[in-house]
A and B are shown apart, each in its own frame.
Chain A
Amino acid sequence: MLSLKQRRSLTTALMGILAWGVALAIFFPIFWMLLTSFKTEIDAFATPPQLFFTPTLENYTLVNERSDYFHFAWNSVVVSFGSTIIGMLLAVPAAYSMAFFETKRTKATLLWMLSTKMLPPVGVLVPIYLLFKDLQMLDTRIGLTIIFTLINLPIMIWMAYTYFKEIPKEVLEAARMDGSTLFQEIWRVLLPMSKGGLASTVLLALILSWNEAFWSLNLTASQAAPLTALIASYSSPEGLFWAKLSAVSTLACAPILIFGWISQKQLVRGLSFGAVK
């Protein structure tokens, strides 16, 4: 009979194996996509699908030629970073005021802001589309940036608010007594103290914008389309460019994947609207 200690380590080992199995199974599609990106198109479409093959980098080196990757990637970058920066410029003062000048209406305002994020986009698809058409904002980066700012603003304010609430009020009062103006108080004391939380907020906003796949599909065509739309265009049955698709997809997803890995713990707060910390 095994001792308690031996039983425990056996269970742990079995559980470990099971966990690894599940993790590898779940990660498999991403792995396969990565693998396929190094195949030639013929290998990519081979039946049965090959695990071993001669790798090639042609899908990556020619990615811009074959699909104008950089154009779409640049759109993604501009729109994601643009909307995040504008969003933070709006969110930080709002969160500051709500965290440190709390009134009876603050909680209601916050909850209302969050509820705007819960609006299904289809509900306003028509008016936004028509508005953009009339204002000639369809297929523009600016238009998309504005939309992304608006849909992510509630989460940015919310996350910044929860992080600001964790700053002890007295340190800011000390700064005030030391002679700082409001701006200096925020810039030299509050922001350095909350930079971890604000970094997570920025990351979350970037991830949400980068992966956004409703407005980017409906409001853009060729000029302002970000990567989400580029990849969607591969679904047309003109050709089976699986290897190319895999390469483009890997390039498109890699940065966000890495962001997500780094900041997983901090993202939970924003993803769960603060309900899970």
Chain B
Amino acid sequence: MSAVYIARNKEVAARMLGDELMIMSARDSTLFSLNATASTIWQAADGRTPLAEIVERQVCKTFAVDPAVALTDAEELVQGLSQHGILKVSNTPIEEGP
């Protein structure tokens, strides 16, 4: 299976409030709230680090979860966030413009 790369969409505003990451789509004003695990993935979404590596190095290390389960959950999460336009997902590294 090919690697999955993820990058934060620039058309969103995000702010950590308490232990939740609040994200608002500037495009349609939809509001999202991410828990700690999802926030970790969001913050690591630099477009260059494969999702599997993010899960292995950051999620599993921080939250002591089974790597296979964590990766499956992460893939579902990024697909969901991608559908709402707040995360970009690609099988190749994502180059961000200026």
Q: Do A and B belong to a common assembly?
A: no
Interface residues of B (CB under 8 A from A): none
